[in-house]
Copies of this chain bind each other. A is one copy, B any other.
Amino acid sequence: MVERFSFELSAVDGAARIGVIHTPRGEIRTPAFMPVGTAGTVKAMMPESVRATGADILLGNTYHLMLRPTAERIAALGGLHRFMNWERPILTDSGGFQVMSLASLRKLTEEGVRFASHIDGSKHLLTPERSMEIQRLLGSDIVMAFDECPALPAEDKVVAESMRMSMRWARRSREAFGDRPGYALFGIMQGGVTRDLREESAAALREIGFEGYAIGGLAVGEGQEAMFGVLDYAPGFLPEDRPRYLMGVGKPDDIVGAVERGVDMMDCVLPSRSGRTGQGWTRRGSVNLRNARHRDDPRPLDEACSCPACRQYSRAYLHHVVKADEIIGSMLLTWHNLQYYQDLMAGLRAAIAAGRLAAFVAEFHATRAEGDIEPL
């Protein structure tokens, strides 16, 4: 068993790269997509099924877990891995982003954020130091620095001030994290869609020094074109020998574009959340299973997919259980969507390894452009 956290880059194709993150809890093949296990569960999935899709690492949400069941309780129960029955690596966010989007009565100061729980109204203070403590109590393998990020579009001045406070918080996070062999702390680059601010943020983070670097403050309303615009230069501001994590991204074409631009890790609730609303992501695009066109269709959702939803059930069955609000509809579509995302990552890794990423991406877009299979 590896005792230290390390990142090994094994091949590049243009700006894209493949590698392996070594942790005491197992390897993470990059580029990696991390399913989101918000409150101690990837919704509607057994963890062994998440693993069966090919996921090497899950993401947990500090904000949700600190409120319920609380970090102290999870620590007393042996940590988040044991609690949720996932023994492989876990990355936790810092709580900052979700406090700003979910909590009420928020008050942001240099110290941190005071807020009221969306569950029971209880009062809390989240600071860089408290975020580090919570993530340590959870037993997170990859800990995220505590940061703050404005919704876009926003004025440069607002983005700059916010970014500079996040950089001060990044330093406090590093100091509070301490020396924890086998665990990693990632800094988070901010700066909106402004190149100079991104460069300034990256320089500040490199001076502090982290085991990995996230690109934060994207996928917050700026649109894919603006996001790709930032990704055309931002990864280049970060050390080549450390993993680069694009937070909260995204749709399949966002992922492909990010990987092309040198991103190593991503996470998003999209595949699991949309699986609970009857949406399936396939090689030929997104399919709404509620649509009556599927009612009599004996064909699988995606004939190229190996997941149980596609191997063992028809579109007609998926339509039926989605319409009838049966839990198995959420279970099957979430499984399928996570499988599709992991298959996409495996395809991207294989293409980068073979130096044929451009051809893979061209085929990815061409297949999607065909649209869903014709009705029978």
Contact residues of A with B, CB < 8 Å? 39-41, 43-46, 68-69, 73, 76-78, 83-85, 295-296, 298, 308, 312-314, 316-317, 319-321, 323-324, 326-328, 330-331
Contact = CB atoms under 8 A, between A and B. Distances in A.
A309 to B, nearest CB: 10
Given A40-B317, A83-B317, A73 B328 contact: no
B85 A296 contact: no
A314 B76 CA distance: 12
Given A77-B296, A298-B77, A327 B317 contact: no
Given A83-B316, A312-B85, A316-B83, A296 B328 contact: no
13 contacts: A39-B321, A40-B320, A40-B321, A41-B326, A41-B327, A44-B331, A45-B328, A46-B328, A69-B319, A69-B320, A73-B316, A77-B316, A85-B317
A316 B77 CA distance: 8
A314 B39 contact: no
Contacts of A84: 317
A41 B295 contact: no
Interface of A is mostly: loop
B295 A328 contact: no
Q: How many copies does the complex hold?
A: 2
A295 B72 CA distance: 12
A43 B73 CA distance: 31
A327 B44 contact: yes
A46 B331 CA distance: 8
Nearest to A69: B320
Given A84-B317, A320-B68, A330 B327 contact: yes
Contacts of A314: 77, 83
Contacts of A77: 296, 298, 314, 316-317
A130 B76 CA distance: 60
Contacts of A73: 295-296, 316
Nearest to A334: B327
A298 B82 CA distance: 10
Nearest to A313: B85
B308 A46 contact: yes
A316 B69 contact: yes
A373 B314 CA distance: 45
Given A83-B314, A85-B312, A328 B43 contact: yes
Contacts of A308: 46
Contact of A39 (B45, B313, B326): B326
A140 B121 CA distance: 52
A68 B328 contact: no
B316 A68 contact: no
Contacts of A320: 39-40, 68-69, 83
Contacts of A321: 39-41
Q: Which 3 A-B pairs have the closest CB atoms?
A: A44-B327, A41-B328, A85-B312
A327 B324 contact: no
Nearest to A308: B46
A274 to B, nearest CB: 15
A60 to B, nearest CB: 13
A320 B308 CA distance: 28
Contacts of A317: 40, 77, 83-85
Interface centre among A68, A319, A320 (most CB of B within 10 A): A320
A43 B327 contact: yes
A69 to B, nearest CB: 5
